Structure 1
Amino acid sequence: MQTRRPPELNPALLPPGTAVGSWRVVAWAGGGVHGAVYQAVPLDDERASPMALKLALLPRDARFAREVELLSRVRHPHIPRLRDSGTWQHPRGTLHPYLVIDWVDGAPLYDWAQQLRPSSQQVLRLLAQLARALQALHAQGCLHRDVKGGNVLVHHSGNQALLTDFGSSRYPDAATLTPSTLPPGTPAYRSPEACLFELQFFRDPQARYAAQPTDDLYALGVTAYRLVTGEYPEFAEPTKNAAGIWHLEGIASPAPRALNPRVAPQLNALILRMLSVQPQERGTAEELAVAMEQAAKHSHPELTQSLFPQEEPVAQAPPLTPDATEPIKYPAHRWTWLPRIATAAVLLALGAWTGWIARGTSPAPTAVIGQKAGVAQGKDGVASGVGDAAATASSAASPNSATPGVLAEDTPPTPVPGQMRPDAKGRCPHKQQIALNGNCWVELEREKCEALDLPTYKGMCYMPVFSPKRPPTSTPATQP
């Protein structure tokens, strides 16, 4: 009788009881493209309070060393505390770095807002905490570079927010991991100056945008805007002057209070400040934190009423799976040129068709936020984020499949006429492309599905790939 071989360990889905360094896995808790998160306890004290153990899916992933280094430099009540780090050896011999941080009994920011329907006062307090966390980072010369709702966890009490996922961070003298025009991050949260830089220099392979603390503050503004309106802010159309320099007049989207009258004037003003196209007008993280804390001290009815009336229907969040880093629950927004700017260089390099990204039309703007912004060239090393992916959401259920990524979107994306096909061996021409449904695609994280309005399948975005000789269709690609 043949003996059944035990299933091979998968870093993305370790079973309970697996030893990782001096820790024992208790339960799967979440995951992203680069890492999986587990609830774990010490091997020598299994009655101890659980911690969050993040394990790299790829061997020797340098993102984890970057996150360990930054967390070891910064200690703040609104940043998870680093407890341990090391390397786990797979039975096949590959080495996967891991780190252990405090377990947060909470939910991602946007999930929390839907469940608890906070007031402007509560939002101001949480934003102030995040601004204080950024203040601590910036004081050390560090940048987060991927501030967004999916990287913010709110304790179930609603009184404490933590800024998470430092795999995309930057600290002084950090080594360059993956050179590209822009640092790592999520397109919908990129600052105007970063997007203008890519529009200006996307044809220059040596150009590097140097992220600044104000980029983190703009991303915090986008997070706040989406939190209170359910939409992302849209840029006005950029213009080019006689010298060939791209400029931006402002933000074309309405002020938050115009979309949601329940937003208190104080919160509305601070969100607009963070979304200014002039970086210096955003101020510093400390200045914003002080302003938010002062505004939250008042108890006016506009500050204390819920931002979301009880009678409004609330979409139910799908269960978390290893690929479901941040379930999409807000109304779909309409994009103009932002995603094309933020992804122009990537799409050209991979030969991807950008037609899907520009679907829909933008509503007529009711206000323009900020003043003109220009672009200047700089240098910076870049890295890729790990993705906490609701890492410590205690309500996450452990998957019962041996393969990560089981979502409701179980229909493969529909091929587009003229799309590139894999060769006879089923391989696509570029290592970052995958063969799916008889065609070649570029796979993106779920957060970008919402940002770029792309079709999803098993929790991931898919962009069709065409031959590099195909004429580009996006505005940035046709500009000199």
Structure 2
Amino acid sequence: MGSEGAGERVIAGRYRLQAALGRGGMGVVWRATDQLLGRQVAVKELVPDDSPSAARVRSARDRTLREARALAQLRHPHISVVHDVAEDGDRLYIVMELIDGGSLADRIAAHGPVDAREAARIGIALLGALRAAHEAGVLHRDLKPANVLIESGTGRVVLTDFGVAQVEGATTLTESGTFVGSPEYTAPERMSGSDTGPACDLWSLGVLLCAAVSGASPFHRDSLGGVLHAVVAAPIRPPAQAGPLLPVVRGLLERDPERRLDAAQAERMLRDFLETGRTPQTSRRQRSPRDRLVIAVLVAAMVAAGVSAAALFVNGGGGGGGTPGSPTSSTSSSAPATPSISGSGRPPK
């Protein structure tokens, strides 16, 4: 690993690391210069697994490389671009597009919640990003304000930090016995360890819309146990500030994924609101015995795992690679926000 200048070094013979943009449970994100192409990039340096097992370390590196390579194939204006995956010594680096702007979490912290129209604009952009990822067989699994960047000058919304993403057909991070994510934004079916799919990301979007307009997740509680109970069992009370977006929010926050709005429905409703200014309409069904059974099963699962889960779930840095303290980053921002899950136990698939 080369070294150039005070506090700077060159990795893979090409990328000059200049300043740390943020640090998190999975590594450090650097502002860097690609000396070959002469452009600014963000470089995520993944911290090596400190496990004494060489096989486990090798397996973790293989999974990360496989998932990073799959994510590099995603091309969408609202998804952070992965340029390269580089190895230097015993370290693995992911080279990404550098977004000149702060996160949605930073924006809320500095200027307060956004209005319903801005939330709808952000929601439409994220739905486009999620649909592109889902069509490619990729689930984000950590959608939250800290992982949404707003580009300065253009207002472009960019979904970033696929650090805990699940790639179809690949061994995932959770299959090694680790569940990483942000509880307040995690769908109840993931909490219970059930099979998961694109609907999980849509639940997270519903929570994000609530946080965008009110400043906080509706599932925020003072303890992890309280958060888990709020997600899987407590009455869901979207913020009044959601106003005309309430039908969308309620549709996304259906605990039964089969009743949850899909991406196309949610996008249509948000676009209708932006175009007409009227509250979008959606059909609602009375809760069926099957729906009540789904909730009962989720509650039972959490009761069975509750005490041990609280002990096993420890802060994992928000599930992202870095938590920038700088307004310029292409990964998750530092937001005081949500406790994160990173522990062993029965992992979701």
TM-score normalised by structure 1 residue count: 0.53
**Structure-2 change in CA distance of 1:177 and 1:276 (3 Å):** closer
State the 1:290 CA deviation.
Answer: 2.5
Matched-pair contact (CA < 8 Å) for 1:28–1:38: yes
Find the aligned partners of 1:349 and 1:395 in 2 and give their Cα distance: 31
Q: Which of 376, 382, 387 is the equivalent residue of 2:321?
A: 387
Residue of structure 1 equivalent to 2:73: 73
Query: Where does residue 28 of structure 2 map in the other structure?
Result: 36
Secondary structure of the residue aligned to 2:170 is coil
Selected match of 2:46 from 53, 56, 59: 56
CA–CA distance in 1 between the matches of 2:215 and 2:160?
22
Q: CA distance change for structure 1 residues 35 and 296 in 2, over 3 Å: closer, same or farther? A: same
Match of 2:247 among 248, 269, 273: 269
Question: Within 5 Å, which residues of 2 pair with 1:336-355?
Answer: 344-347=307-310
d(CA) in 2 for partners of 1:159, 1:218? 24
In structure 2, the residue matched to 1:84 is: 84
Q: Please give the secondary structure, in 2, of the residue aligned with 1:282.
A: coil
Which deviates more, 137-146 or 336-345?
Answer: 336-345
Instruction: Tell me which residue corresponds to 1:285.
Output: 263
* 1:19 CA drift (Å): 0.1
Aligned-partner Cα distance in 2 for 1:96–1:272: 44
Inter-partner Cα distance in structure 1 for 2:23 and 2:272: 37
Q: 1:9 to 1:41 in 2, by over 3 A?
A: closer
Q: For the Cα contact (< 8 Å) 2:98–2:329, is it kept in 1?
A: no
User: Conserved in 2, the CA contact under 8 Å of 1:145 and 1:183?
Assistant: no
Q: Give SS of 1:101's match.
A: strand
Whole-Å separation in 2 of the counterparts to 1:255 and 1:176:
32
Question: Cα distance, 1:391 vs. partner?
Answer: 8.0
Equivalent in the alignment of 1:17: 8
- What residue number does 2:97 align with? 102
Distance apart, 1:287 and its partner CA: 2.5
Structure 1 residues 228, 182: closer, same or farther in 2, change over 3 A? farther
Give 1:53-452 correspondences, 5 Å limit. 53-58=43-48, 62=61, 64-89=64-89, 95-117=90-112, 118-157=114-153, 159-179=155-175, 183-195=179-191, 197-198=192-193, 209-234=194-219, 252-257=235-240, 260=241, 263-265=242-244, 267-299=245-277, 344-347=307-310, 385-390=319-324, 393-394=327-328, 450-451=337-338
Instruction: Tell whether the 8 Å contact from 1:78 to 1:133 is kept in structure 2 after alignment.
Output: yes
Deviation, 1:114, is 3.9
Larger Rg: 1
| Counterpart in the other structure of 2:296 | none
**Count of residue pairs brought into register by the alignment:** 295
Q: Deviation per CA, 1:330-387, whole angstroms, max 9, x where unpaired?
A: xxxxxx999988864444569x9xxxxxxxxxxxxxxxxxxxxxxxxxxxxxxx9443
Matched to 1:171, the amino acid is V
Matched letter for residue 40 of structure 1: A
Give the secondary-structure state (helix, strand or coil) at the position aligned to 1:27.
strand
Q: Give the conservation status (yes or no) of the 8 Å contact 1:66–1:169.
A: no
Are residues 234 and 19 of structure 1, via their aligned partners in 2, closer, same or farther at CA, if it must alter by over 3 Å? closer
Q: Secondary structure at the match of 2:77?
A: coil
Within 1, Cα distance between the matches of 2:149 and 2:305?
A: 26
Larger helix fraction of residues: 2
Distance 1:394 1:253 in 2: 35
| 2:258 partner SS | helix
Question: 1 or 2 for the larger relative contact order (CA 8 Å, sep ≥6)?
Answer: 2
Q: Cα RMSD over matched residues?
A: 3.9
Which sits farther off after the overlay, 14-23 or 341-350?
341-350
Deviations 1:80-127 (A, max 9, x none): 1111111122xxxxx111011111011111221344553211110111
The one-letter amino acid paired with 1:220 is L
One-letter code of the match for 1:23? Y
Distance of 2:106 and 2:304 partners within structure 1: 29
Counting aligned pairs with the same residue, the percent is: 25
Tell me, in whole angstroms, the C-alpha distance in 1 between the residues paired with 2:120 and 2:190: 26
CA distances 1:6-61 after superposition (whole Å, capped 9, x unpaired): xx999xxx96431011111122211211111111112245xx33111111121665
